[in-house]
Amino acid sequence: MEKAKVLYIAQEITPYLPESHMSKIARFLPQGIQEKGKEIRTFMPRYGKINERRNQLHEVIRLSGMNLIIDDTDHPLIIKVASIQAARMQVYFIDNEEYFQRKAVLNDKDGKYFDDNDERAIFFARGVLETVKKLRWAPDIIHCHGWMTSLVPLYVKQIYKDNPLFADAKITYSLYDDDFSPSFNGNFHKKLLEEGFDKADIAHIEKDPSFTNLMKMTIDKSDAIIEGSEQINSEVVKYASDKNVKMLNYQGDEDYIDAFDAFYDELLND
All residues at 6 or more sequence positions from 63 whose CB lies less than 8 Å from its CB, including other chains? 79, 92, 131, 134, 135
All structural domains of the chain, each given as residue ranges with its CATH number in brackets, are 5-269 (3.40.50.2000)
Neighbour-count burial of 90, counting CB atoms closer than 10 A to its CB (0-12 exposed, 13-18 middle, 19+ buried)? middle
pLDDT digits (tens, 9 = 90+) for 25-41: 999 999 999 999 999 99
pLDDT digits (tens, 9 = 90+) for 210-252: 999 999 999 999 999 999 999 999 999 999 999 989 999 999 8
With cut-offs at 50, 70 and 90, classify the pLDDT of residue 1. Answer: low
Q: Let me know: does 267 contact 224? Beta carbons within 8 Å.
A: yes
All residues at 6 or more sequence positions from 148 whose CB lies less than 8 Å from its CB, including other chains? 11, 45, 106, 117, 120, 121, 124
With cut-offs at 50, 70 and 90, classify the pLDDT of residue 182. Answer: confident
Rg (CA), the chain: 17
Q: Let me know: does 40 contact 95? Beta carbons within 8 Å.
A: no
Q: Let me know: does 165 contact 136? Beta carbons within 8 Å.
A: yes
For residue 57, pLDDT beyond 90: yes
Give the max Cα distance, the chain: 52
All residues at 6 or more sequence positions from 15 whose CB lies less than 8 Å from its CB, including other chains? 27, 55, 84
For residue 181, pLDDT beyond 90: no
Neighbour-count burial of 105, counting CB atoms closer than 10 A to its CB (0-12 exposed, 13-18 middle, 19+ buried)? middle
d(CA 229, CA 252): 9
pLDDT digits (tens, 9 = 90+) for 69-118: 998 899 999 999 999 998 899 999 999 999 999 999 999 888 889 999 99
Q: What is the pLDDT of residue 12?
A: 97
Within 10 angstroms of residue 144's Cβ, the number of other Cβ atoms is: 27
Q: What is the pLDDT of residue 221?
A: 97
pLDDT digits (tens, 9 = 90+) for 117-175: 999 999 999 999 999 999 999 999 999 999 999 999 999 999 999 999 999 999 999 99
Q: Let me know: does 106 contact 49? Beta carbons within 8 Å.
A: no
Q: What is the pLDDT of residue 61?
A: 94
Q: What is the pLDDT of residue 6?
A: 98
The phi-psi region of residue 2 (left if phi > 0; otherwise alpha if psi is between -120 and 50; otherwise beta) is beta
